[in-house]
DNA sequence: TTGCCCATGTAATTTGTTACATGATTTA
DNA sequence: TAAATCATGTAACAAATTACATGGGCAA
């Protein structure tokens, strides 16, 4: 019975929706192409699943009737298989995307910050060097974002992906400033006594942006 | 004997190192306390594992000789168990933290951006409302960061965690600005040509939830 | 003719979550 | 004394990765 499927909103991992989202743009694509696209744009604000997982999700989506596939040429095994989203898939995806409760707060896994947090185990110079490398890496990432933006700008149907990439560009610029401020803090820490936390007298605290929290 | 240990670096998932990192600060702690601490500070720049995983990692760390535990009171099962880092653990952790190649680029999973990216499936008003909710959530998170900062400021040994939290504070401020810029972009998109309107015939452009007169 | 990119898939394993079971201690 | 919080752990499962197997097409 398909009635049981419709009764409740399909609970799928975000990855499945992300893959379905890739399919929601005009055109049919192979799993391989999806992976490349995810690598070059989705990963900047979400994440790029392993290729084997993409294939697995595509199979699941097809089972659910959210996607359909067609082999090119005869019915051979391992022939190129192009996927397309179905109407049911588009509807389900739209329903998921509109569910705001589903989207929790953004998740950040920042390896550099984890290491700064463990700064008491490292030499100060090593720590600063790591931030420097992070700055360099971030500049390269920013360049990659901008390259993706060029591609997205070509097609009017990609207005929203272009918006997301614009956000990513700004996000990387912010990341650069964050890293520079971190570097300054790090230098302030080791200049003054090793145990003097930079809290008093440093400007930039008391910044705007906070809600009018009374008190 | 340190020469043989140096030969190969222990390969552990980042979560194991994060848990060991929690133990690297002065004092002995229970798994439960570790979880609370992760929830209130580590999660802002890294991530907070499930409590069951913390227990699992603690067992593994003890097996490796990186942590030691002591039951309080007699040898009963399920008695309170406090963990401490060992010298070997501290050394291994320092080695891991100094390895810059290990720390790849930061990973971001931003549910809101994923939805913006899929904006062609949503009503413009709904999209803007979601960004508004994100702004509100971010302000709350920022308040939580600042509360954690107060605790960290008390103890001089926590200078580096305090630094990481300062970074998080700025990161959240940047997130607010990013969201505001996104909102502006979104309004610019729908004001101009609306080639991406969802379904024709749905004139329900009456704003829901969000629509303070821009100005 | 070697090697790279395209392309699909399986198997084994690890990582991580949720749900559940258990009981001590604190607080209202 | 009822509740919430503290505290530890197991079991079942889901999510995701790596390693591997296979093979076509193309370019140096």
Q: Where are the alpha helices (DSSP H) in chain A?
A: 3-7, 14-23, 31-40, 51-63, 87-98, 111-117, 124-154, 159-191
Q: With cut-offs at 50, 70 and 90, classify the pLDDT of residue A214.
A: very low
In sequence order, what E strands does B46-195 have? 67-71, 81-85, 107-109
**Which pLDDT score is estimated for A100?**
83
Q: What residues of chain B lie within 8 A of the CB of A105, using their CB?
A: 137-138, 141
What does each C-alpha distance from B143 to A114, A205, B46, B111, B137 come to in angstroms? 21, 13, 18, 21, 10
**Lowest mean pLDDT segment, chosen from A78-82, B9-13, B71-75, B108-112:** B71-75
User: Is A119 within 8 Å of B171 when comparing Cβ atoms?
Assistant: no
Number of Cβ within 10 Å of residue B90's Cβ equals 15
Q: Report the pLDDT averaged over residues B148-175.
A: 93
Would the pLDDT of B63 be above 80? yes
Average pLDDT, chain B: 84
What would the pLDDT profile of B76-94 be if each residue is shown by its tens digit? 666 789 999 999 999 999 9
Q: With cut-offs at 50, 70 and 90, classify the pLDDT of residue A102.
A: confident
By Cβ distance, the residue of B113, B142, B158 closest to A167 is B113
Q: What is the DSSP string of A133-176?
A: HHHHHHHHHHHHHHHHHHHHHH-GGGHHHHHHHHHHHHHHHHHH
Q: Could you identify the residue written with the tokens 């891991």?
A: B96
Nearest nucleotide, CA B35 to C1': D7
What would the pLDDT profile of A48-79 be if each residue is shown by its tens digit? 999 999 999 999 999 999 999 988 765 566 67
Q: A residues 138-157 near B, CB within 8 Å?
A: 138, 141, 156-157
Alpha-carbon torsion (A181, A183, A185, A188), positive or negative: negative
Pairing of strands B67-71, B81-85: antiparallel
Distance A54 CA to C10 C1' (A): 14
d(CA A57, CA A83): 12
Q: B residues 11-30 near A, CB within 8 Å?
A: 14, 17-18, 21, 24-25
Q: Which nucleotides of C are covered by protein (CB under 7 A)?
A: 6-11, 14-19, 22-23
Would the pLDDT of A206 be above 60? no
Q: What residues of chain A lie within 8 A of the CB of B115, using their CB?
A: 97, 103
Angle at B107 between CA A150 and CA B98, to 5 degrees: 120
By Cβ distance, the residue of A45, A120, A194 closest to B108 is A45
Phi, psi of A45 (to 5 degrees): -125, -10
User: Is A141 within 8 Å of B105 when comparing Cβ atoms?
Assistant: yes
**Which pLDDT score is estimated for A79?**
77
**Which pLDDT score is estimated for B192?**
61
By Cβ distance, the residue of B105, B111, B129 closest to A104 is B111
What does each C-alpha distance from B127 to A96, A141, B141, B194 come to in angstroms? 13, 27, 21, 14
Read off the pTM: 0.84
Distance B15 CA to C15 C1' (A): 10
Determine whether A192 is exposed, middle or buried from the number of CB atoms within 10 Å of its CB (0-12, 13-18, 19+): exposed
**Which pLDDT score is estimated for A63?**
94
CB of A136 within 8 Å of any CB in chain B?
no
Share of chain B above pLDDT 70, in %: 81
Q: Report the pLDDT averaged over residues B187-210.
A: 48
d(CA B108, CA A47): 7
Q: With cut-offs at 50, 70 and 90, classify the pLDDT of residue B154.
A: confident
Q: Report the pLDDT averaged over residues B187-194.
A: 72
By Cβ distance, the residue of B46, B163, B174 closest to A189 is B163
Would the pLDDT of A99 be above 60? yes
Q: A residues 40-69 near B, CB within 8 Å?
A: 42, 44-47
Would the pLDDT of A129 be above 80? yes
What would the pLDDT profile of A142-185 be if each residue is shown by its tens digit? 999 999 999 888 788 899 999 999 999 999 999 999 999 999 99
Would the pLDDT of A17 be above 90? yes
Q: What residues of chain B lie within 8 A of the CB of A199, using their CB?
A: 153, 162
User: Is B94 within 8 Å of A199 when comparing Cβ atoms?
Assistant: no
Distance B27 CA to D1 C1' (A): 36
Phi, psi of A65 (to 5 degrees): 80, 15
Q: What residues of chain A lie within 8 A of the CB of B119, using their CB?
A: 159-160, 163
Q: What residues of chain B lie within 8 A of the CB of A189, using their CB?
A: 159-160, 163
User: Is A108 within 8 Å of B112 when comparing Cβ atoms?
Assistant: no
**Which pLDDT score is estimated for B155?**
84
């Amino acid at each position: 019975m398909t009635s049981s499927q419709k009764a409740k909103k399909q609970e799928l991992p975000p990855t499945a929706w992300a893959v379905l989202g890739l399919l929601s743009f005009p055109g049919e694509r192979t799993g391989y192409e999806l992976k490349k696209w995810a690598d070059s744009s989705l990963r900047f604000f979400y994440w790029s699943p392993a290729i084997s997982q993409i294939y697995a999700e595509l199979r699941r989506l097809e089972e659910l009737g959210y996607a359909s596939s067609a082999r090119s040429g005869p019915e051979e095994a391992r022939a190129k298989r192009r996927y397309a989203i179905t109407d049911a898939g588009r509807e389900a995806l739209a329903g998921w995307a509109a569910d705001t409760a589903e989207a929790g707060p953004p998740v950040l896994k920042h390896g550099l910050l984890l290491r700064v947090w463990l700064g008491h185990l490292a030499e100060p110079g090593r720590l600063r060097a790591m931030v420097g490398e992070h700055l360099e890496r971030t500049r390269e990432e920013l360049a990659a974002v901008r390259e993706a933006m060029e591609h997205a700008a070509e097609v009017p149907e990609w207005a929203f992906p272009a918006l997301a990439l614009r956000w990513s560009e700004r996000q990387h610029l912010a990341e650069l400033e964050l890293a520079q401020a971190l570097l300054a803090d790090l230098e302030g820490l080791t200049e003054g006594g090793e145990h003097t936390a930079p809290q008093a007298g440093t400007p930039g605290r008391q910044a705007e942006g906070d809600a009018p929290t009374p008190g």
